[in-house]
Amino acid sequence: MNASPEHQKKLLDVADLDRRIQQAERQRSNPAQGARINELAKERQEQLRELTTLTGARDDVRTELTRLESDVKVTEQRRSRDADRLAASTNSKDAQALERELASLATRISNLEDLELEVMDRVEQAESAVATHQALIDETVAEGSELTAQAKAAVAAATTEIEHLTRDREAISADIPDDLLAEYTRRASRGVGVGLLRRGTCEGCRMMLSGTHLNEVRQAAPDAVLSCPECGAILVRTDESGL
């Protein structure tokens, strides 16, 4: 295949644009924030499960406190009724029985109140644990939201860059013969499409050509489309080639 040196050089611009398009595609499909966002999503699921456990424990101890408060109230009402009955009693035997019951009720109320204080402390601890864990979840959500916004912005920026680069590629490709562009595309699909020969080295694969191959390049016509013997890329010759 033959093509003018100018058209062959333009393949280098096309290849550079293709490289930049591929980079932008990777940024769009896999933004830098993606890994951390996935980590945060897993962390949040675990944190929500733990919050469910903590909330359940808090609700249980709240229920226990409510029951104790009800027991204290019922017992105090009973003590009040017995005290009224004692005040109105004229029978010494009944009065003694009421006094014994009042003493028993006083002991029960004291025990219930002690237990109530203990459970109130447990409620406070449980509520603190829930609040602390909820704050942790809020931090996780906030970080995730911020990173998600950053990722969306990065994807949008990459999309815009791809559009600009694609337009530039189309403009440059329009000046390149179809057969030469197709050959470049075929080779690029398998590896390296084109490489500049600089000081005897193919920049497509960074390999230096042997003396024999360099002699073949020197003897080739300027419009001959040559190939790198190492990577198979179209070998573009310029004043920097060292021929």
Per-residue pLDDT tens digits for 137-180? 999 999 999 999 999 999 999 999 999 999 999 999 999 999 99
Q: Tell me, what's the pLDDT at 92? A: 83
Contacts of 237 (CB under 8 A, 6+ apart): 5, 8, 197, 217, 222, 226, 243
Q: Tell me, what's the pLDDT at 137? A: 97
CA distances for 110 relative to 58, 98, 203, angstroms = 25, 18, 90
- Kindly tell me if the per-residue pLDDT of 243 is higher than 80: no
List helix spans (H) across the chain: 5-29, 34-88, 92-173, 178-190, 211-219
Neighbours of 78 (CB within 10 A): 15
Contact 15/188 with Cβ under 8 angstroms? Answer: yes
pTM of the full structure: 0.73
Closest CA to 194 of 238, 161, 128, 143: 238
DSSP 82-146: HHHHHHH---HHHHHHHHHHHHHHHHHHHHHHHHHHHHHHHHHHHHHHHHHHHHHHHHHHHHHHH
Instruction: Label residue 190 by pLDDT band (50, 70, 90).
Output: very high
Whole-number Å distance between alpha carbons of 140 and 143: 5
Neighbours of 107 (CB within 10 A): 10
Q: What is the mean pLDDT of residues 13-28?
A: 96
Q: Tell me, what's the pLDDT at 88? A: 85
Instruction: Label residue 28 by pLDDT band (50, 70, 90).
Output: very high
Q: What are phi and psi of 2, to 5 degrees?
A: -120, 145
Q: Tell me, what's the pLDDT at 242? A: 80
Q: Tell me, what's the pLDDT at 199? A: 93
CA distances for 85 relative to 95, 121, 140, angstroms = 8, 36, 62
- Kindly tell me if the per-residue pLDDT of 82 is higher than 90: no
Question: What domains does the chain contain, in order, with CATH numbers?
Answer: 5-19+176-241 (no CATH), 27-173 (1.10.287.1490)
Per-residue pLDDT reduced to its tens digit, 199-237? 999 999 999 999 999 999 999 999 999 999 999 999 999
Q: Tell me, what's the pLDDT at 87? A: 85
Per-residue pLDDT reduced to its tens digit, 87-125? 888 788 888 888 899 999 999 999 999 999 999 999 999
Q: What are phi and psi of 48, to 5 degrees?
A: -65, -35
Q: Where does residue 110 rank: exposed (0-12), middle (13-18), buried (19+ CB within 10 A)?
A: exposed
